[in-house]
Amino acid sequence: MANVSIYLNFNGNAEEAFNYYKKIFGTEFSAPIFRMKDMPATDGIPPLSDADKNKVMHVALPILGGTLLMATDILESMGQKLVEGNNVTISLNTDTKEEADRLYKELSLGGSGGIAPHDEFWGYWGTCKDRFGIRWMFNVSAQHA
């Protein structure tokens, strides 16, 4: 069945972020964390440093409504560069205002730029940027609000 997954890049703290999200959503990783050292050696690609070997190659966590949140750590040693911005927003469409408020409270802790969930003409809405630089939006449709 088709679904939507959200993929995020982190600058070496994907595991920390996903353990935090796992606690908030009360779910478990869909598979063990796949680390950079788990990749098979490839011709033409230099060996990884000890620091890079334990970085996250892939992690996946089910969150709400069958949505799968996935991530990797970027490797500066391979010429990759993380650019934080507002290009990724994860929209959480909850069934109740209480759930939206709980998620906002926990995800905005230590973050910035939040607008607490409140009534709008389309329903109950809010947004925040968490302590890892990820933007979240909270929605409860008017029929559920």
Q: Given the DSSP bridges, would you call strands 34-35 and 56-62 parallel, antiparallel or unpaired?
A: antiparallel
Whether 14 and 65 map to the same domain: the answer is yes
Cβ–Cβ < 8 Å for 70, 60? yes
- Number of structural domains (the chain) is 2
- Render each residue's pLDDT in the chain as its tens digit; 145 residues: 466 689 898 999 999 999 999 999 999 999 999 999 998 877 877 888 999 999 999 999 999 988 999 998 998 888 888 877 656 789 898 999 999 999 999 999 999 889 999 999 889 999 999 999 898 989 998 776 5
Read off the CATH number of the domain in which 103 is found. Answer: 3.30.720.110
The Cβ-side half-sphere exposure at 130, using a 13 Å CA radius, reads: 21
- Contact predicate 138/115, CB 8 Å: no
